[in-house]
């Protein structure tokens, strides 16, 4: 799910300025859009960008902690990343399923078309 800079800062426990410093020109071009709500502009980071920033934060955080960073914390961080990936995959699967369903509804006699394509492929 897309997030604002403020939402990311709150989740990561860092300031909005710290999040903004991570937004390189290349990152902004690929993952950030400006949304205007109630006359105010907000920067919104897309799903891939959120994941990239969280991964980068965890990596930076682990390096800063050095030897003091316990194995349990690393495992927790990695578990959080895995959970985030699972959520993203599930959301993408649902989105794809909905798009396929909508697409199939647009095709009259889609079963006939499917059978025709299967028979055509089998005859080759």
Residue 107, phi then psi, degrees to nearest 5: -95, 115
The CA dihedral of 12, 16, 18, 24, to the nearest 10 degrees, is: 110
pLDDT digits (tens, 9 = 90+) for 33-43: 999 888 899 98
**Cα–Cα distance measured from residue 53 to residue 69, given in angstroms and rounded to the nearest whole number:** 20
The CA dihedral of 49, 53, 54, 55, to the nearest 10 degrees, is: 100
Place of tokens 């980071």: 45
Q: In the predicted model, is pLDDT for residue 51 greater than 70?
A: yes
Mean pLDDT of 67-82: 71
């Amino acid at each position: 799910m897309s997030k604002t800079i403020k939402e990311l800062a709150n989740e990561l426990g860092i300031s909005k300025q710290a999040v903004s410093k991570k937004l390189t020109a290349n990152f902004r071009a690929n993952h950030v859009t400006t949304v205007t709500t109630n006359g105010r502009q907000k920067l919104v980071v897309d799903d891939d960008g959120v994941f990239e920033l969280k991964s980068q934060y965890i990596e930076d955080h682990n390096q800063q902690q050095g030897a003091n960073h316990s194995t349990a914390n690393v495992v927790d961080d990695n578990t959080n990343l895995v959970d985030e990936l699972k959520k993203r995959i599930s959301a993408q699967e649902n989105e794809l399923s909905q798009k396929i369903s909508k697409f199939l509804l647009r095709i009259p006699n889609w079963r006939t078309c499917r059978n025709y394509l299967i028979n055509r492929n089998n005859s080759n």
